[in-house]
Structure 1
Amino acid sequence: MRLKKARRVRLLLFAALSLALATGLMGYALRDGIEYYRTPSQVLSDIPSSSEVFRLGGLVERGSLVRSPGGEIRFRVTDGAASIPVQFSGIPPDLFGEGRGVIAKGRIAAGEFMASEILAKHDETYVPRALAGSAPSGQGTR
């Protein structure tokens, strides 16, 4: 009887150690993949160093979007309380526009956010084109 109990204890100990090791390895593997974005208010309350790369999230402020012929885009990201000027060179996503959600990855330089990548956020009120005409007011494709 003691032998069965000893085996059971060893098996439980082995399972617990294996689970702890697997959890530790998963956490180690995901440490660089987890990135949260900061709002303009958070950035302005605790200004990061110019070498820190982070994500800035909010809405593209209406009336602030300026596209230059060279492909440079300037706009302001706001969270309703504060806004930060952003500069981006490249091709923006299709859903990018004024009043739309955006997440920009980059760094702060001379009071301006220099974005290396921008991602447009879509709203949750998607309606297929076939149903857009029968959608309640305020909803539809954009």
Structure 2
Amino acid sequence: MKSKILATLIISLGLGFGAGTAYAESVTIGTPITDTECDAIGEDVNPSLSKGVHAAFKCDNAKNLITVGACHENGRKKVEKIPCAIIGEWGGEVKWNGTCANADDTVDTTVDIGKGYIGSNAGGSVAGAALDAACSDDSVDDLTPDVS
């Protein structure tokens, strides 16, 4: 079941995974991620990213939790309102794709640097999210939801 959730997130975000414990890690093409690094994946994963895609993950083995983020260097770059969506629930809190109070809210991108996508294996949706800087390994690490 965990492998199916992981595969769904990979397909939905167009990325492979990396692993770690409670910190973001950039995904590196050609470097296998083992289930000993992140128990929640259940089996080894070989990342595959399209050209220009940056991806990251956070993993907390104690919570059996993975969060992921991805963006594309040439992705959508316009000021827009991103619909709020729940990306999961952990730590006793519902987690949103931005500073949202309910699904009727929006996340406003204030500059034309683009957006990425985030998700988790804790229920919810894969959802758009505003980037704080142009798509890169660093900005996607910042975009990826904390597992705390």
TM bin (shorter chain): under 0.3
Q: Between the two structures, name the one with larger relative contact order (CA 8 Å, sep ≥ 6).
A: 2
Higher helix share: 1
TM-score, normalised to structure 1's length? 0.24
TM-score, normalised to structure 2's length? 0.23
Larger Rg: 1
